Amino acid sequence: MRVLDLIIKKRDGGNLTAEEIGFLISEFDRGNIPDYQMSALLMAIYFQGLNARETTALTAALAESGEMLDFSSLGAIVADKHSSGGVGDKITLVLAPLVAAAGVPVAKISGRGLGFTGGTIDKLESIPGFSARLSVEKFMELVQENSLAIMVQTERLTPADGKLYALRNVTGTVENISLIAASIMSKKIAAGANAILLDVKMGRGAFIQNRDEAFHLAETMVRIGKEMGRRIVSVVTDMNQPLGFAVGNALEIKEVMNVLRGQGPPDVERLSVLLGGYLLALVGKVRNPEEGQEELLRLLKNGAGLEKFKQMVISQGGDAQCLEDLSLLPQAKFVETIKAPKSGYLREIDARKVGKVAAILGAGRSFKGEKIDFSVGIVLNHKVGNIVAEGDTLAYIHGNNEDTLKAAFKELSGTFSIGEEKAEGFPLIYGVVPPFPS
Ligand code: URA
């Protein structure tokens, strides 16, 4: 097989066989295909696309490039949940302990935040002592013992995806549904769970803003998952305004604790319970998502979810004191407020801008590996649809540096749109793929 022939085949609109795709990925992973040839192939794929068979073959080749976890010795269905990324998206941290408390083991491998979106691992690492750098063996042991563990993606899993994604990032070839679906699903398949819930975010604060594309991605990933023998459901959810009120790592952990104590923002509680209900129905723990939602709400109200979250944090080295006394979590030195310039209905809070402002403050990264400040971020005081009076506080900005605080204040001031006409707000969920029950 010659790489050049395969590039030309795809460039001219041909279909690659599973064998050819397997060859390309394993040779690229071994360093035997130079970046310039792989870049040409990626651009050919970007324009010509991959059919369903090619996309599944690419997923399998990426997954098989590293270790494949296997939880079959647990004798139970293991669940995983993935979000395509958003602003203030702390749903995993509420949903995972609730689902684990319902008796379904959750094994979650997460990434760090990049750009305007936050990452679950960064949020957890804002708890002093918490470690997400687990060995695969320790991860599996904790899933067995506690029914819940969250670890950071390592090079032992899907190494070829890491290399391919880095190349896509610098060659303008990220935004292709087949490539995105294969990349995400390869990590889900390698991570070993047999029931997968995918949260595809759509809106201003998500990578996908278009409804057709969001559903196309959801459908593509569900098809791949089913072909690879997984139970899978994908939910397209709103990301036009931030989820909850807090955006920023330690600030979001405080909000998660409040939700698990039954005192959190209704949108975070509701979406966590709705998505978790689908997961419980998917693994067959309940007869339908509604029954799952009832059960999760019960476990939220009786504190079982909170206890499970604490158990996970302590098992992974986190300081339990900080969860009892949230003022012990990292705190910023300064807090600035944004006031409403006029009275009216709050019509828009641009989630993307809020995410960018959080990154300016130091809560996010502009390049891989950048050090972040766990204490900074934004706490909103209102949601879209609320009525505000002139002078009301719209948001609190938490910062440690006067210059970045000033820049954040300037940027954030233009983020809120207030008008005389009532704004309806956004639905939490746009659709479920496949429609439930299937
Ligand atoms: N997230 C991934 O893991 N891969 C992509 O290609 C895009 C988003």
Judge if the beta carbon of residue 180 lies within 6 A of ligand 1. Answer: yes
The preferred substitution site among 50, 62, 174 for testing ligand 1, maximizing ligand atoms within 8 Å of CB, is 174
CATH of 3-49, one of 1.20.970.10, 3.90.1330.10, 2.60.40.10, 3.40.50.300: 1.20.970.10
Alpha carbon of 94 to ligand 1 centroid (Å): 23
Is residue 187 among the annotated active site residues? yes
**DSSP element (H, E) containing 122:** helix 120-125
* pLDDT tens per residue across span 185-228: 999 999 999 999 999 999 999 989 999 999 999 999 999 999 99
pLDDT reported for residue 85: 87
| Cα–Cα distance for residue pair 397/373, rounded to 1 Å | 14
Mean pLDDT across 314-341: 97
Task: Please report the DSSP string for 207-235 in residue order.
Answer: SB--HHHHHHHHHHHHHHHHHTT-EEEEE
Is residue 382 among the annotated active site residues? no
- Out of 183, 186, 234, 272, the active site residue is 183
Judge if the beta carbon of residue 110 lies within 6 A of ligand 1. Answer: no
* pLDDT tens per residue across span 351-361: 999 999 999 99
Q: How confident is the model at residue 114 (pLDDT cuts 50, 70, 90)?
A: low
Residue 366 reports pLDDT greater than 80: no
CATH of 72-324+429-433, one of 3.40.50.410, 3.40.1030.10, 3.40.50.12280, 3.40.50.2300: 3.40.1030.10
Angle between helices 266-282 and 91-101 in degrees, nearest 10: 50
Contact 162, 154 (CB under 8 A): no
Alpha carbon of 160 to ligand 1 centroid (Å): 13
* pLDDT tens per residue across span 374-407: 999 999 999 999 999 999 999 999 999 999 999 9
Protein residue with least CA distance to atom 6, ligand 1: 180
CATH of 330-419, one of 3.40.50.720, 1.10.150.120, 3.90.1170.30, 1.10.10.10: 3.90.1170.30
What atom of ligand 1 comes closest to residue 183's alpha carbon?
A: 4
More confident residue, 115 or 128: 128
